[in-house]
Chains A and B, each alone.
Chain A
Amino acid sequence: AQTVTQSQPEMSVQEAETVTLSCTYDTSESNYYLFWYKQPPSRQMILVIRQEAYKQQNATENRFSVNFQKAAKSFSLKISDSQLGDTAMYFCAFMTTSGTYKYIFGTGTRLKVLA
């Protein structure tokens, strides 16, 4: 069975600094997708970034980038130039491409950006 582990329940970072959130996963499949979702205090969950397992290049979206290490089954999220609006719960998620369209979520990391 696939599992997703986020070992950092809470983190904080000073505004304008860089922070990295960790995520590891376990699967026997070779084709899958990985995601980072953000859930601000208002509760609406939004997609931050996604990575296809067959792509070696790490995905980037503006200040957000990932470090995808397929052999190590690691998928960390780096937030550069942190802003107060980045304060949120961040969830790592895994989805197999086997056709079931099911996500497996980690337990989340609560990030607080300090002024």
Chain B
Amino acid sequence: SQTIHQWPATLVQPVGSPLSLECTVEGTSNPNLYWYRQAAGRGLQLLFYSVGIGQISSEVPQNLSASRPQDRQFILSSKKLLLSDSGFYLCAWSRGAVYEQYFGPGTRLTVT
């Protein structure tokens, strides 16, 4: 069976510090991968998605970037965090022909 992992679960970082959130998927190959940010009252905002290694599409101009160094690994990064980067970050995967997305447990990021 497939599983998706995210870490860390929670993170408190000062403004201006770097960020690296990691997401890995097990039990499948060549998944589509997604990063979302969830804010109260605003639902889920798609940040990045990837259909293959090295292929990243950005949805929102922002202080964040994403990379996919391996088939089942998706990383969300920032060189300098802003207060507005605080939120709940969700990673998800899907198989192209199936369409459902499967979500990870999420990372709560607080920028102080």
Which residues in A have some Cβ–Cβ distance to B below 8 Å?
A: 6, 9, 33, 35, 37, 43-47, 50, 91, 95, 97, 101-108
Contact = CB atoms under 8 A, between A and B. Distances in A.
Contact of B99 (A37, A46, A50, A91): A50
Nearest to A92: B43
Interface stretch (B20-28, B60-68, B70-78, B101-109): B101-109
Interface residues of B, number: 24
A102 B49 contact: yes
Nearest to B50: A101
A107 B42 CA distance: 5
Given A35-B100, A50-B100, A106 B43 contact: yes
Interface of B: 32, 34, 36, 41-44, 46, 49, 51, 59, 88, 90, 92, 94, 96, 99-106
A101 B100 contact: no
Nearest to A45: B103
Given A33-B99, A50-B100, A101 B43 contact: no
Interface centre among A9, A45, A95, A105 (most CB of B within 10 A): A45
Contact of A43 (B36, B44, B94, B105): B105
Given A45-B103, A46-B103, A101-B51, A107 B96 contact: no
Interface centre among A103, A104, A105, A108 (most CB of B within 10 A): A103
B105 A44 contact: yes
Contacts of A95: 99
* 9 shortest interchain CB distances as A-B pairs: A45-B103, A107-B43, A105-B44, A105-B43, A101-B32, A47-B100, A43-B106, A33-B99, A108-B43
Contacts of B51: 101
